[in-house]
Amino acid sequence: MNSLDRRGFLKIASAAGAAAALAACGGPSTSGGPAAAATVDYTGVTPAPEITWWSSNPGGSEPVSREIIEAFHRSQSGIRVNLVTAGAHYEEIAQRFQTAQAGGAGNLPDIVLLSDVWWFRYYMQRSIVDLTPLTAALGWDLSDYRQGLVDDYSYDGKLWAIPWARSTPLFYYNKAHWAAAGLPDRAPETWAEFAEWGPRLQAAGTGVQKAFQNPALADYAGWSFQNNLWGEGGGWSSDWTVTTDAAGSVKALQHLQDAVYTGGWAGVASTDGVTDLGAGAVSSTIGSTGSLVTLLKAATFDVGAGFLPKGPVTGPVCPTGGAGVGIPAAITPERQLAAATFIRFLTTPENTVKMSAATGYMPVRTSADISSLVATAPQRQVAIDQLTVTRVQDRARVFLPGADQEIARSAANILTQRADVATEMGTLEKTLEGIYTTDVQPNI
């Protein structure tokens, strides 16, 4: 994966120049960080006639995005939308957007796809706009959006993106392998229960490499392992306090390591655990709901799906994830208003169902009619039901620049190099604290 790590991000940010990122700022910040962007008054503003949307088309969503754009054009004649594939994945589009800051408003898109681990960097640079005044100007009621998904983009009492390609992790399994092992047709309720099931699956004679495949660490360790940490009462952080070395966090990673080395029934995906499951190489994995459509097409067996397993500590253990759409702060109010007008259309209940049908991402509106989705793939109902028990991600993962890569590096040391868990998690704590102190605290 062509990741942009913390050092790469900071280098690009320096090249772009703080002045460019803060060009639209004014007034003192009450938080002690950089000056807050001035609130724009959209009274009397006429939307720009043409806007550009930068996307990486997550989940192969380009066809449905273009379909929605054409429907928007038919619904009105004042605004035209150009869709630009600005990167192959979240990191590439983030890098392109960051670099564009140096060229001024003329080089910026009007709408940009913002992943869960990238949008906060642009908040710190003041390079994306607070959407609250735009929703007010358009009379845009957000009460029908799933509150947990909206909360992911809220900070300092303001809203910085609208949910679009949103997901949660799901527990996926091969129903035939479950039957061969004499297991009930459901996901394990707890990790302790799965620790009993794993050896039975491994010994069931199904010919798989492993009963369970941990997700590819570079893509998913920081995201999906929150489930394991939260279930043990740990986490990557609590508010701004890094907690990777807390007892619950260490215990959760020790259980994962034991399943790989001591139990021998769990492996680690080199590229994609869902692909491994779809190919029949493993019996189960955890993957994004955004992978559901691809998995159902690839699998030659009945695919089971369930909630993420719980731990001994009570509380939600499923993180949300994916991407939303935001608007640059440096573009004109006319462009901002046009962009918001299209985003409102993009995320109507009908269009969010279209997105979900094409990709497996979550319908982001509570009033969305999901009957057609569930009729074609009952597993979707599991994913939608799990939204009621999700939890906003730890700030250490999504708000610290480059933290996701640092977490993945530590997870790889633990699960592929058998590093001492307590030592590795202690080292990670110091690394993440350093990122917060140097790169985040001065900017919030």
Same domain flag for 66 and 197: no
- Please report, in tens digits, the pLDDT of each residue of the chain (444 residues total): 334 444 444 444 433 333 333 333 322 232 334 555 678 899 999 999 999 999 999 989 999 999 999 999 999 999 999 999 999 999 999 999 999 988 888 899 999 999 999 999 999 999 999 999 999 999 999 999 999 999 999 999 999 999 999 999 999 999 999 999 999 999 999 999 999 999 999 999 999 999 999 999 987 899 999 999 999 999 999 999 999 999 999 999 999 999 999 999 999 999 999 999 999 999 999 999 989 989 999 999 999 999 999 999 999 999 999 999 999 999 999 999 999 999 999 999 999 999 999 988 999 999 999 999 999 899 999 999 999 999 999 999 999 999 999 999 999 999 999 999 999 999 999 999 999 999 999 999
Same domain flag for 312 and 344: no
Give the list of residues 6+ apart from residue 143 with CB closer than 8 angstroms, or none: none
Asked whether residue 387 is assigned to any structural domain, the reply reads no
Task: Return d(Cα 327, Cα 296) in angstroms, integer.
Answer: 34
Number of Cβ atoms within 10 Å of the Cβ of 418: 11
Same domain flag for 352 and 309: no
22 within 8 A of 421, measured Cβ to Cβ: no
Same domain flag for 279 and 412: yes
Asked whether residue 242 is assigned to any structural domain, the reply reads yes
Asked whether residue 388 is assigned to any structural domain, the reply reads no
Asked whether residue 184 is assigned to any structural domain, the reply reads yes
Q: How far is CA 341 from CA 76, 83, 114, 130, 216, in A?
A: 11, 15, 18, 15, 38
How many domains, the chain? 2
Tokens of 322: 């994916």
Asked whether residue 382 is assigned to any structural domain, the reply reads no
287 within 8 A of 169, measured Cβ to Cβ: yes
Asked whether residue 373 is assigned to any structural domain, the reply reads no
CATH code of the domain in which 209 resides: 3.40.190.10
Same domain flag for 131 and 197: no
List the beta bridge partners of residue 82.
Answer: 52
Same domain flag for 141 and 33: yes
Q: Which of 338, 419, 332, 412 is nearest to 48 (CA)?
A: 338
CA atoms within 13 A on the CB side of 152: 34
Same domain flag for 175 and 97: no
Burial of 172 (0-12, 13-18, 19+ CB in 10 A): buried
Task: Return d(Cα 317, Cα 188) in angstroms, integer.
Answer: 14
Pairing of β 390-391 and β 318-319: parallel
Asked whether residue 12 is assigned to any structural domain, the reply reads yes
Asked whether residue 412 is assigned to any structural domain, the reply reads yes
Task: Return d(Cα 73, Cα 267) in angstroms, integer.
Answer: 48
Same domain flag for 72 and 174: no
**383 phi and psi, to 5 degrees?**
-65, -40
Residue 308: what residue type? Answer: L
Same domain flag for 183 and 310: yes
Q: Which domain holds residue 259?
A: 169-319+396-443
Same domain flag for 274 and 193: yes
Task: Return d(Cα 187, Cα 30) in angstroms, integer.
Answer: 47
Same domain flag for 90 and 212: no
For position 419, what pLDDT does the model report?
A: 98
**273 phi and psi, to 5 degrees?**
-65, -35
Q: How far is CA 55 from CA 73, 114, 209, in A?
A: 19, 9, 36
For position 360, what pLDDT does the model report?
A: 86
For position 220, what pLDDT does the model report?
A: 86
Same domain flag for 190 and 253: yes
